[in-house]
Structure 1
Amino acid sequence: MIRNVGRTLRAAAVTALVGIALAAAPANAAAPVWETLPQPVDGDRGAAYILPFDAENAFVKMRRGTCASCRMSEKLWQKAGSTWKALTPPADASITTLTGTAPNDLWAIGRVDTSTGVFRVNHYDGTKWSGNLSPDTQHLELTAAEAVSRNSLWAVGNSRKDPGSTPTVTHWNGTSWNTTKFNQIDGGLDSIDVRAENDIWAVGHRSAGGTANDRLQALALHYDGTRWTEVPVPATAKVSTLLTEVKSNGPNDVWVAGYILDERGLGEPRTGAYVIHWDGTAWTRRDVPGADFANSFAVYGGQVHLGVSGGRANLVRWTGSAWEAVSGIQEGMNGVAMLATTPDGSLYLAGTSGWDSIFGGRTYHLQRLAAPAAR
């Protein structure tokens, strides 16, 4: 049940946005030592996504084929020590979104056939796969999810309606689903971050009407354990803005990223990777200069890190006043697609180099940075 959505925000939430320059790393800073992770040999493609648990255990999603006909396939592998095992999900499963808490607690979520529009939710217990556990196979599209424990999975997306769609959050408690639909909003949710069961952020977009260039605007929601509240994001005039990533580093340190559609509405950003920061009172613009897209957040060593693509640096961290390039990652990489941390404090990344996805010229990279030494 939705309660008091959007009623408790202070007017200061719509303060002016400020751009930030990219800082150079200090000349005397020790370069981090990255470990290149081996990947399962599987055709001419590599791991496009990693879900790590510790240095020994992880799941990776591989992309296969040369895409000569633009028909890519995906395959799921499990890492246990130095051993790789191919996993075969149910035929009607999708591995678009992966989340889990352990090698025997994996969720695979996505849509297999775009013509049917039916989303699947399947669970792997280390031995066998469940059938489709989706709470609504007719209307609910789930675009992101986060497993908190074996008995707690949060997922976001939208419920289709005619016309439009409704932003939707659903929670699995180990036996059943509890679904919240924001019926007063036309839009959808694309990312979720669960800092605690009473501190959850979800972001996406809402329909703002208007012209084709500004028909969508940013949408941010927060859950305090009792109710969901909309946190208004300043509108971007004359362009559409969509939020695709969120990471909370505390109640007064929330990072959100997305992109702005250009004047033609083709999805190319107008001003670079769109990033905003919530300090508990107001949003401030924190774009990454020169980068096209902001792809994934992670907190490593107490600092917020961001993987980007199309920029001078592909991995940056926030110093408190500016974005700083992180050195030591694979040379020639042109994008860090995802970041993840494990309970021991290690940072993992999945990135790419090369641009020719049609003829098989793109290479996928997996790297790990061990937890920083205790001070």
Structure 2
Amino acid sequence: MRTLLGRRTAALAVTAAVTAAGLTGTALADAPSGAWTATEITGLTAPALYGVTAPDRGHAWAVGTQSSSSAPLILSYRHGAWAPQAAPAGTAPQLVDVASRGPSNVWAVGQGGGDATAKSLHWNGRAWKAVAYPRQLPMAVSVDSRGKAWSIGSNTDGSGAAVFRRTGGTWTDEGLSLASGTLLDALAARTPEDVWAGGMTSSGDGLWHYDGTAWTQMDIPGDWPHWVLQVVALSPEDVWFYTIPQDPLFSGPTLVHWDGAAFTVTKTPSPYEQVRAYAQDVGFLGDIASDGRGGVWLQDSRTAYYRHFDGTTWTSVPRPANDLGGWPQVYDLAQVGRTASVWGVGPGAGDRLLIDRFR
């Protein structure tokens, strides 16, 4: 689920005074079995990836932008290798998210301007098709258990945030009534009767649930409203959220779990060591993904580690070594089908791009 433009320019509601919490006093579990490795892709121009999806071991797609954000970028993984795919004419130049329900049903959404009027794409197993989008700034896309695509988007002026479902060959507004100025940036449509939408609002927590009939705004425990950045929905009793409590001192992000009846809030290991007046890019907080075993992977885009949470304790697992002169941010993580493998993508450097994988 990724992050660009509308998400990138969203300001935190408070000035963020960020301190380094590190792992002091945090119990560490044994590292999961396996290792993170990186695949290098060359031959691109100023590439960046913002979304990745993997319906099974043999197929994956990653989307983003290239050529100084002037052209869309689609990479397909098959037969053990990544390769570029051509985007249809008119595709928005900055693809921000991608989701799938099998190798023949993949959806991507993008942001752009000028002649790039097509904001969403569909892959049917043979070719990509450009599809018009009802808002100027699509933010995320998800595909439910029946193969129907859901998406969230808004307008460039921040108005019109809404949830849409692809029905009858068009994007249909699913009736989530939101206050003006509400930001939606996270979406997980597990089934048509179990959909989560996350974001930030001026009243309460930025989290809503749809049961197939109506939307309910949810209340996460805590003294401050939560800005919900990411959602991973595995079952009605197993949903994970990556959030920012909007307290005046910006205590840092949290990992929140829903068990079907109540929320549990866990502080994440925080790498932040500087004062930030604004979150210029929501991607600076990274992403989460299921580990396929009841826990969660987290990459916080500020350290040389992937964080693993087994439901009780944290583990820090080293990222793959590289010679880029730093650690590329990780904008999106995706579990590979129902396995314990995970893909991680982010921006590149020059003509080089690294895609991480745990297995």
> Aligning the two structures, in what range does the TM-score lie when normalised by the shorter sequence?
0.7 to 0.9
Identity rate of aligned residues, in percent? 21
Residue 315 of structure 1 corresponds to 306
**Aligned partner (choices 222, 225, 248) of residue 212 of structure 2:** 225
**Aligned partner (choices 274, 284, 294) of residue 303 of structure 1:** 294
Shift of residue 366, structure 1, vs aligned partner: 1.9
Change (3 A) 1:256 1:145: same
**Aligned partner (choices 2, 15, 22) of residue 26 of structure 2:** 22
Change (3 A) 1:338 1:307: farther
SS class of match (2:144): strand
On the 8 A contact 1:340/1:349 being kept in 2, the answer is yes
Residue 207 of structure 1 corresponds to 202
Change (3 A) 1:346 1:340: same
Q: Distance in 2 between matches of 1:351 and 1:83?
A: 15
Shift of residue 51, structure 1, vs aligned partner: 2.5
Shift of residue 300, structure 1, vs aligned partner: 1.8
Residue 79 of structure 1 corresponds to 77
The one-letter code matched in structure 1 to 2:354 is H
Q: Distance in 2 between matches of 1:178 and 1:44?
A: 35
Residue 9 of structure 2 corresponds to none
2:171 paired with 1:172: no
Change (3 A) 1:310 1:328: closer
2:321 paired with 1:331: yes
Shift of residue 49, structure 1, vs aligned partner: 4.1
Map residues 196-275 of structure 1 onto 2, 5 A cutoff. Answer: 196-208=191-203, 218-234=205-221, 237=224, 241-259=226-244, 270-275=250-255
SS class of match (2:213): coil
On the 8 A contact 2:39/2:355 being kept in 1, the answer is yes
The one-letter code matched in structure 2 to 1:207 is S
2:357 paired with 1:368: yes
Change (3 A) 1:175 1:345: same
Alignment gaps of 5+ in structure 2: 1-20, 273-283
On the 8 A contact 1:39/1:46 being kept in 2, the answer is no
Q: Distance in 2 between matches of 1:330 and 1:35?
A: 5
**Aligned partner (choices 82, 85, 88) of residue 86 of structure 2:** 88
Change (3 A) 1:363 1:303: farther
Q: Larger radius of gyration, structure 1 or 2?
A: 1
Higher relative contact order (CA 8 A, sep 6+): 2
**Aligned partner (choices 37, 40, 54) of residue 39 of structure 2:** 37
Cα deviation per residue 1:4-44 (whole Å; 9 max; x = unaligned)?
A: xxxxxxxxxxxxxxx99533233xx6752344435354246
**Aligned partner (choices 164, 172, 183) of residue 177 of structure 2:** 183
Change (3 A) 1:350 1:30: closer
SS class of match (2:267): coil
**Aligned partner (choices 338, 342, 350) of residue 336 of structure 2:** 342
Residue 121 of structure 1 corresponds to 120
Q: Distance in 1 between matches of 2:200 and 2:73?
A: 30
The one-letter code matched in structure 1 to 2:54 is P
Shift of residue 93, structure 1, vs aligned partner: 1.4
The one-letter code matched in structure 2 to 1:54 is D
Shift of residue 348, structure 1, vs aligned partner: 2.3
Shift of residue 247, structure 1, vs aligned partner: 1.6
Cα deviation per residue 1:271-292 (whole Å; 9 max; x = unaligned)?
A: 2223333344443431212234
On the 8 A contact 1:64/1:72 being kept in 2, the answer is yes
Shift of residue 204, structure 1, vs aligned partner: 0.9
After superposition, the CA RMSD in angstroms is 3.7
Shift of residue 221, structure 1, vs aligned partner: 1.0
Shift of residue 153, structure 1, vs aligned partner: 0.7
